[in-house]
Amino acid sequence: MTEQLLVERRDAVAVLTLNRPDRMNTISGPMLNALSKELVAADADQDVRCIVITGAGPKAFCAGLDLQGASEGNAFGGDEPPADVRRPRAGELDPRTTPPTVLHNVDTPTIAAINGGAAGYGLDLALGCDIRIAAENAKLAPAFVKRGILPESGGTWLLPRIVGYAKAAELAFVGETILAKEALDLGLVNKVVPEGAALDAALEMANKIAANAPLAVRATKRMFRVAQRETFDDHVNHVFLQLLPLFQSKDFVEGFTAFLEKRAPDFKGR
């Protein structure tokens, strides 16, 4: 695929590592394409029960799109920067295939292991994950307005839903960097761990998720996602339709049996 995105399987967890530490793991064209493809592949793999996204090295999760490389004409494999950087031409960029959109639509739970700075596109990528675990040295930088742009990769949708409209407006309009402890207080991250421990903490949580019934976990995530646009009554009916096939699954029988036998269940995803 590309050496700029490392793909590793750790039991039932797929670990995707943005691998450009010399450029603060900024997003290049090959990395952009590989990330979308690997997210789709992991979501389609029944043996993958959780996806962890992190960055290589101790300094950065992802510092955004590679604007420096794009200005040099080499980061995205062409003579000009991609549509994400320059003004897109009509029909040129399909947002349905970019990582933030793909990430939003996968049913497999996702965890961002924020090992360092997350800015711009990298911040939106982290916000798009279901769960975020940050190292103490992590910094979140919603500095779009300081670069003359807006959060173009889901941030305008995600941020108000995570912290509320007023706080999202403050963070986005002011554009100041947020330290890990403040991010925890705001609810932007789920947990803060010592420097260098973000990936291990994310894997620990991912393994706990992977031990649960995968069909039920995926159905729960789907319902969280569609609840954003449904009325309560419509949503309850929708949930009931998701519940019916779960009642007929072998995992439901296993979960109920394991409860009665007072043992840990062994779910197969069937």
Taking only the tens place, the pLDDT of each residue in 170-228 is: 999 998 999 999 999 999 999 999 999 999 999 999 999 999 999 999 999 999 999 98
Same domain, residue pair 31 and 52: yes
Same domain, residue pair 184 and 140: yes
CA angle 200, 7, 95 (to 5 degrees): 105
- Asked if the structure places residue 269 within a domain, the reply is no
Of the candidates 112, 98, 111, which has an alpha carbon nearest to the alpha carbon of residue 154? 98
Distance CA(180)–CA(172), nearest Å, equals 17
pLDDT at residue 75 tops 80: no
Same domain, residue pair 134 and 244: no
Domain count, the chain: 2
pLDDT at 100: 83
To 10 degrees, the CA torsion angle through 48, 50, 55, 59? -150
